[in-house]
Structure 1
Amino acid sequence: MSDRHSPSRREILAGAAALTAAAPALLHAATPDAPSLKGRTVLITGASSGFGRVGALHYARLGAKVIATMRGVPRPEAESLAAEAAKDKLDLHIVEIDVTSDASVTSGAAKALELADGRIDTLVNNAGIGITGPVEVQDMEATRLIFETNVLGIQRMLRALLPQMRAAKSGQVFNISSQLGRVIVPGGGHYSATKFAVEALSEQLAYELVPHGIEVTIIQPGGYPTRVWQNRNIYTGALKGRSDAALLAAYEPFTKGMGTEDGSGRSADPADVPRAIAEIMAMPAGSRPLRRAVHPGAKPQEAINKVAAEVQLAWLGGSPLGPLIKAVHD
């Protein structure tokens, strides 16, 4: 890895002019305890609970203007988030966006850009769902729903917000993946399939955005005690209820507990994830990592991350695409 005190290849490729034109907030140096995000505008999807809600408040408390988005507004989660933000006098705005809907993303992104005076410099693609069970048990309704949310939802948000980042020649995208975007647990439904797709989409995007001065970071959380478990049980329970009994019996070790997992035994602090994202936001442009594993426990994906980077550099580092690959991995 190159010395962080020297200009990175990404900085060289993006050019001094792009860095000069970048918003000052993008050039803040990171401080381990409380990085300043003053001057930054962050849009986060899936802010009704979990990493999204905790993150929205965390970034706002660090000085960012935050646009917290969720589907189904008005809803109690939106009201409680707005109340907490108002109590602390935070610059936080709630906008309705359902990432599974083209129309909702288009209208929500337009409203968000209006609130942000036309400039959103950081997009956190956090919205996601899980549906468990064996692959054969996943009917097309479940399959479409999880891919629409976890993969196509990110694509919709990228297409909505990247044009103004490219125009500014700066910006950041954080895509929330998972440990299960690199390793696989039997019976996990299509969750790993969607998160593997997020990993590939994000890495390709990172290479392609180097000339535009926009950086991409993939966040790989482990298991945390958020409401994802309860939400997953709703989707998984519905799937089990409409599945053929003989099919469920064929995979009994994996189907017996469908819809009853509660995430118990997980005690890690969900704030780990927004703290890691804020730290990366505050890093100097050109030094931010492509991937960050986040969990106090085991991180089995890190070995795969290392090998994958080495393979990319060995395969394409000496090709005409080499400068893009090296800019992301060095």
Structure 2
Amino acid sequence: MTDRPSPSRRELMIGAAALTAAAPAILRAQEAPSLKGRTVLITGCSSGFGRLGALHYARLGAKVIATMRGVPRPEAESLAGEAAKNGLDLHIVEIDVTSDASVAGGAAKALEIADGRIDTLVNNAGIGITGPVEVQDMEATKLIFDTNVFGIQRMLRALLPQMRAAKVGQIFNISSQLGRVIIPGGGHYSATKFAVEALSEQLAYELVPHGIDVTIIQPGGYPTKVWVNRNAYTGALKERSEPALLAAYEPFTRGMGTEDGSGRSADPMDVPRAIAEIMAMPVGKRPLRRAVHPGNKPQEAINRVSAETQLAWLGGSALGPLVKAVHD
């Protein structure tokens, strides 16, 4: 029997280098949870976290219903093509979250595709409009609240009945760091995301008896198309604003409509990966809030104090079991 030759030092070094290079991909493959058997509906899938998430959850085995407004549109065709190329169970449905009729019709179509059962809702659709508070006219104010807050309410009312009937389900609401902290000149973005935080936490308590978990995702700044869309809305606001009003709030108004998100290099896939990880957790063990960003997360201190305050205030009351179920 011939002895197998020992590998040379060069071969060992090449093998070690190959393993080192492959390690991140191997680790991601080991850590990626299976979402087989889940049906996930996501709003705002034309770009950013919504599009990335739709493909990611489908690759992990979920049936995905990716929604966006204005279908047909190139973004829908591109997403459908990517899904078909990879053999993914991904369906595109038109939903404009600012329209009662569109939400009702889109939700009905989605439930038909899902055989009446959608177990996970990701409320991702949202917009930003920057500028000082006084500069925000009622057109801008109504649009951002209608999208970021009322849009979530419409989706909840459309899909919660079938989740409650099944006594199981999961809701993710995309908030922001700016749902807890404030940047001057940020328009009503923080106001809407603060509202999302409050709505979501209240909902989490109320859904405990129904076996439905709620998680608030708080991303930091990521280089997504949100900057392009935000500039369109903000630029239009600046165009229709009085010059004297804009001048009164220099320097906050100077760059309105020109932010490009440059300098942000964090991987937007951080958000879909975090959501998938939480989806795979046991019912009742999922976090109420998850801050997502490789850099500074100033909201985490507020999250801790908020949980401690809720437990101290209501933990010993008749509502204590609901509050403890969410925070413990």
Q: TM-score, with normalisation over the residues of structure 2?
A: 0.91
- Among 267, 288, 291, the alignment partner of 1:290 is 288
- Among 307, 314, 317, the alignment partner of 1:316 is 314
Is it true that 1:189 corresponds to 2:187 in the alignment?
yes
C-alpha distance in 2 between matches for 1:241 and 1:192: 22
CA gap of 1:32–1:208, structure 2 versus 1, over 3 A, is: farther
Is it true that 1:56 corresponds to 2:66 in the alignment?
no
C-alpha distance in 2 between matches for 1:256 and 1:191: 18
C-alpha distance in 2 between matches for 1:250 and 1:118: 54
Three-state SS of the structure 2 residue aligned to 1:253 is: coil
C-alpha distance in 1 between matches for 2:186 and 2:30: 35
Residue in 1 that maps onto 2:221: 223
C-alpha distance in 2 between matches for 1:241 and 1:212: 48
How far off its partner does 1:32 sit?
A: 6.3
Post-superposition, which runs of at least 4 consecutive aligned residues in structure 1 deviate over 6 A?
none
The amino acid that maps onto 1:41 is T
For 1:124-143, list aligned pairs within 5 A.
124-143=122-141
Contact 1:131 1:190 in 2 (8 A): yes
The amino acid that maps onto 2:128 is G
Three-state SS of the structure 2 residue aligned to 1:152 is: helix
Higher gyration radius (CA): 2
C-alpha distance in 2 between matches for 1:269 and 1:171: 28
- Among 264, 268, 271, the alignment partner of 2:262 is 264
Contact 1:105 1:156 in 2 (8 A): yes
In structure 1, stretches of 5+ residues that fail to align are: 1-30
Deviations 1:131-165 (A, max 9, x none): 00000000000000000000000000000000000
Three-state SS of the structure 2 residue aligned to 1:252 is: coil
The amino acid that maps onto 1:202 is S
Residue in 1 that maps onto 2:104: 106
C-alpha distance in 2 between matches for 1:150 and 1:111: 22
- Among 34, 37, 45, the alignment partner of 2:35 is 37
Residue in 2 that maps onto 1:123: 121
Deviations 1:254-283 (A, max 9, x none): 000000000000000000000000000000
Is it true that 1:151 corresponds to 2:168 in the alignment?
no
CA gap of 1:63–1:112, structure 2 versus 1, over 3 A, is: same
CA gap of 1:92–1:155, structure 2 versus 1, over 3 A, is: same
The amino acid that maps onto 2:296 is A
Residue in 1 that maps onto 2:25: none
Three-state SS of the structure 1 residue aligned to 2:31 is: coil
- Among 182, 198, 202, the alignment partner of 1:204 is 202
Is it true that 1:232 corresponds to 2:245 in the alignment?
no
Three-state SS of the structure 1 residue aligned to 2:141 is: helix
Three-state SS of the structure 2 residue aligned to 1:155 is: helix
The amino acid that maps onto 1:161 is L
C-alpha distance in 1 between matches for 2:162 and 2:76: 27
C-alpha distance in 2 between matches for 1:282 and 1:96: 27
Contact 1:32 1:279 in 2 (8 A): no
Three-state SS of the structure 2 residue aligned to 1:254 is: coil
Deviations 1:183-214 (A, max 9, x none): 00000000000000000000000000000000
Residue in 2 that maps onto 1:173: 171
- Among 287, 294, 298, the alignment partner of 1:300 is 298
How far off its partner does 1:100 sit?
A: 0.1
C-alpha distance in 2 between matches for 1:282 and 1:49: 24
Three-state SS of the structure 1 residue aligned to 2:153 is: helix
In structure 2, stretches of 5+ residues that fail to align are: 1-28
Q: How many residues align?
A: 300
The amino acid that maps onto 2:119 is D
- Among 80, 89, 93, the alignment partner of 2:91 is 93
C-alpha distance in 1 between matches for 2:310 and 2:320: 9
Three-state SS of the structure 2 residue aligned to 1:205 is: helix
Residue in 2 that maps onto 1:253: 251
C-alpha distance in 2 between matches for 1:32 and 1:232: 37
* RMSD of equivalent CA atoms: 0.7
Contact 1:317 1:325 in 2 (8 A): yes
The amino acid that maps onto 1:294 is V
The amino acid that maps onto 2:169 is G
Overall identity of the aligned pairs, in %? 89
C-alpha distance in 2 between matches for 1:312 and 1:244: 44
